[in-house]
Structure formats: structure tokens, C-alpha cells
A and B are shown apart, each in its own frame.
Chain A
Amino acid sequence: MGFGHDADVGRMDELGRLDSPVHRLDARVKALSTIAFLVTVMSFPKYEVSALLPFVLYPVTLMAVGGIPPSCLFRKLLVAAPFALAVGIFNPLLDRQSVAILGAHTLSGGWLSLASIAVRFILTVSTALTLVACTGIHRLCAGLEQLGAPQVFTIQLELLYRYLFVIVGEGARMRRAAELRSAGRGALRLRTVGPLVGNLLLRAMDRAQRVYQAMNARGFDGRVRVLGTTALRAGDLAFLAGWIAFFAVARSVNIARGLGAFVTGNGL
């Protein structure tokens, strides 16, 4: 976790409230097609790279139609990359078996599997981020509940999200104040951080008490109501069926290699 996430949450929240054909789709449909996408992408064998590429069409389409600027997601992708690639980084050293020949060069299995992990990472992460950016937390929670997630969990998710802005702001202020007083020594000492975080917790709990009283005064009964829960429309089902059909085709046929063979004239 780095610092400066607070601004980022706000950005995702703004994107989630946009209005576009993708935003108007039923949240359940988007969640299901995204799960189908993830399972298909992950189901490819270890050394597959080219057959994975056509799947980029799914996040690209959602981003384009939903009006999500790719740069916004790209930054998050870069931040998360080291963690995801750590498990595959030794593959080129450990797996030296040659699997492909390109002119005078042979390609070892390790490099290929590392490339495969990198492509999988880009596809899965950009898709998950796109899903949220063109759904928004409220519609997502409503969809999750309609799909059978426990209500305690969806309410928890929704409340966590609402308080996040408040408490992240509070934490950022406290941290800045502590840093200003510690004359630029970088990371704070534990002796400072203990009371700092403890006080943040106390403030947060006080705040929760006040917010809860305010919610009660407005008739809160343990449920968060969402305006305009949607019924499934024909367009939603067509979206789901269309994408699942595409994933099935792209899983069974290597579209990229087929195209390449067609262009270069290499028979398969």
C-alpha cells in the first residue's frame, strides 16, 4: 500500500457514477461475464501467449464504450505489477528447455511462461478495474446481493467504502502533521505510530457512533436501499451470451496464430 490512494479512490468513484451503455448494463451480467473471462484466461496452459491476446478485446471494449480513460487504470497496473510478477520472475532461470525457434534464436520455456504470466496479469487486472470503473460500488453491491452474497457482507462493503473517504482523509492529515514535526526523517518510528494509529481508531469509532445515530434518525434498519434495482433486459442477456461465446471461441481456436498464418501464408 502506497500513499496517495485517497485521490485514486475518488477517481474510481467518479468513473463509477458515469452514465454509458456499459454502466447501464445489469451489474450481475457484468460480474458473470467478467468471471467467465477470468476463468477462461486462467485456464490456458502455462506456455500460452499468443492465444491469450484476443482476450484484450473485452477490457478494451468495456473501457471504450464506458468512457474509462486507459491512463487511469494503467497507473494502477504499474503499481501492482511487481507483486504479480514476483512468482514468475525466476522462471527463465529455472526452466531452460527450448520451446520455440525464431530464426537463429531459441526461446526457452521460462521466458515464455514469464511472458504468459505477464499477459495474464495485464488482462485480469485491467478487467477487474474496468468492471468497477463502469459499475460503481453501489450497483456492484446490489448486484452481489442479487447473486446471493450475504447481506451482512454487502452492507459491510458499502459502509466500508463510504467511511473510506472520511478516514483516509483523517489519516492523511494525522500523518502529515506527524511528519512535519519529525523533521523529515522519512518513515515514522513505531513509538510515534502506535499512538497515532490508536488515536485514529478512537476518532474513527467516535465518528461511527455519530454517523450511526444520524442513520438511525433517518430510519436505518440494517439494510441499505438502492434506488432503481434493475431487472434483466434482453440487452443484458445478449451482452452475456455474446461475450461467453467469444471466450469459448477464443479458448478453442488460437485466433492470433490463425490470423498470422493467414497473413504470412504459413499453413498450420
Chain B
Amino acid sequence: MHMADASLSPAVGGALWAVSAGLLAHCARRVRQTLDDTQVPLMGVIGAFIFTAQMINFSIPATGSSGHLGGGLILAILLGPHAAFVTLASVLTVQALFFADGGLLALGCNIFNLGFFPAFVAYPLIFRPILGQARGGVRLWAGSVLAAVIGLQLGAFGVVLETTLSGLSDLPFRSFVLLMQPIHLAIGVAEGVATVAVVSVVQRTRPASLAVTKASPLVALNTGRAVAGFLIAAVVIGGGMSWFASTRPDGLEWAMDKIRGSEAPARLNEGVHMRLANVQERIAFLPDYDFPAHPTAAASEPARWPLVSAGTTVSGLVGGLIVLVLAGLAGYGLRRRQTAV
């Protein structure tokens, strides 16, 4: 679910960077206030643990595929939402910097999609109300699986929105939603089950460990929050279901029509696209920046991209080749000089 720089526009990437940086600053302040400095090394270790646990794949029964722990929910359970968000942000940063998993400008999107939803929606509004006073059993199962599923559904929807707003991918919004949400349903169930497995091992072997932090999840919580949580969960599930209910799987048919050229591209989700376009205009932080053509814009004015003459195409190709050769030579030359010195 890690997004890459290549599919993002700077407006979307920058906006999500700002949002994630703000959240991070807020969480860092809260961590400072509520946790003593014993927690700081613990957060480092648990971050490294999540990183490592993601390398251990397990088979998903009856599907022939395998999955691994995602980590957002389990971090929130172990550390509380604020420390979990900081920790997950650091895990994603290391993944982006050292493994090319996601990109630097996409980091804001990734932190938001994979960190915000599990830590500030799934954990406090779904996991905790369902778990209640219980310490395990059905409530732990239900809470973990539902929280993981909803957290991932929201994250996957975030990916779809951010990609569509960026306008570099031609995947229609509806097809993309239909591609992403069901896949992440399965992944969410696996993540929930894995979370239960890990939490129960810790509970069984060392119950005291789960009370390490003051923000420990396995403490009493007030009912007002629980009610709010159920309400929001209901809205989310209702909203999610209606998404599935209202969308006919016509994305592929639409694509085939377009390939055959038998009909002008249907304007899918015109309302949604219009609204997204408005949002995009409002969040644009580089006003005179050249935006990629919007799907609807491209449909309404097909002549926007002029037919380029063969001459310019050839010039572009030849010039590009020259640039690459020159850059390679420059690199080689700089390197030789460096070793010679």
C-alpha cells in the first residue's frame, strides 16, 4: 500500500506532507508530555520490531497467498495512539529512505494512510470500545479484526483518492476503488488475526508488559467515547457498503469501449470528479503550476494536447539519448577524478 513519488503530483504530495507533519508535531508534543523518557527507547525497539515482523510471512489459509503484519494497529495497542503514530512515521521513513519503499514526497501520504487511520480512527473508535473491559476472547478477536479491516479500508481509499487527485494514472476512480477495497478487505482480516496472535502471546506470557505505558489500551474507557465510536463505525461501514452496492463493475467494460473507440468516454462520477477538482484547486500550493490533465478535462477538450510533429519527437529522442550519454560520461569522469586525487 506504499505510494510512490512517481504517481503523485506535488500539490497532493505537499498537502499530505503538511497534514502529516502537523500530526507528527502534535503527537511528538503529546509523547513528550505524557511519557517519561523510558518510553523513548521502547518506541525505538518496537518500531524496529514492527519492521522485522513485516519480514516474517505467513500463509493465508485457503487462498494460497501469504501476508504479514502491517503494524499500525498493534503499535497503537502497545504504545497508545500518539506514540504509535510517531513510531509508524519513523518506520515508514526508514523504509522510504533505505529500501525505496514509497518515496520522499509520497512519505506524507504514506504516513497519513498507514498511520493516521489505525492510530486515530481504528484503535480509539473501534478497537477500544469493542474490547471494553475484556482482556481477551471474542471481544479481542472482534475488536482487532474489525479495527484492522476498517483501518486498512480507509487507508486504501486514501491511496485511491490521492492517486486520482494527482491525475497521473488513467485508472478511473471507480475501477480503482473496486480494485483496491476488496484486496484490502482480505489483508485487513489477516492483519487483525495476526494482531490477536501477537497480543495474546504477550498477554499469556507477560501480562505486565502490556501495562508498560500509561496509554495502555487494556484499561477502562468511558462509555461516551464508546458510543461515539460505534456511531462512527456504523457510518463508515454503511458508507463502505453503499460504495460497493452502488457501483456496478463496469470499469472494465468502460475501458474496453474506450479501447475499441466505439463510444466517447463516459463521464464517470462526474459529480465526484468535479468536487475533487474543486478540492484540488483549493489545496494547490503552487498556483501557477501546470496541472496534469484531469480525466474529465481530457474528455471535454480532446485537443488540449496538440499533435506533435515527427520532427519534435525525433529531436526529443535524439536529445534525450545525448543527455543520458553526457550524464553517464560526467559521472564516469567525476569518479575517475575522485579516485585519482
Contact = CB atoms under 8 A, between A and B. Distances in A.
A binds B: yes
Contacts of B51: 160, 164, 167-168
Given A94-B170, A159-B44, A188 B57 contact: yes
B19 to A, nearest CB: 15
B44 A201 contact: no
Contact of B99 (A44, A76, A98, A211): A76
Contacts of B320: 49-50, 53, 256, 260
A212 B305 CA distance: 60
A263 B298 CA distance: 34
Given A128-B104, A257-B319, A264-B314, A163 B45 contact: yes
A221 B38 CA distance: 10
A29 interface: no
Q: How large is the interface on A (under 10, 10 to 19, 20 to 34, 35 or more residues)?
A: 35 or more
Given A175-B56, A266-B315, A80 B99 contact: yes
Nearest to A161: B94
Contacts of A33: none
B326 to A, nearest CB: 8
Interface stretch (B138-146, B224-232, B285-293): B285-293
Contact of B100 (A43, A125, A200, A263): A125
B6 A109 contact: no
A75 B320 CA distance: 24
Interface of B: 2, 4-10, 13-14, 24-25, 28-29, 31-32, 37-38, 40-49, 51-61, 66, 68-69, 86-87, 89-91, 93-101, 103-105, 163, 167-172, 193-194, 196-198, 200-202, 205-206, 209, 212, 255, 258-259, 261, 286, 289-293, 298, 302, 305, 307-320, 322-324, 327-328, 330-335, 338
13 contacts: A8-B99, A77-B100, A80-B4, A96-B261, A120-B5, A160-B47, A167-B48, A197-B198, A205-B42, A208-B45, A255-B323, A256-B319, A256-B322
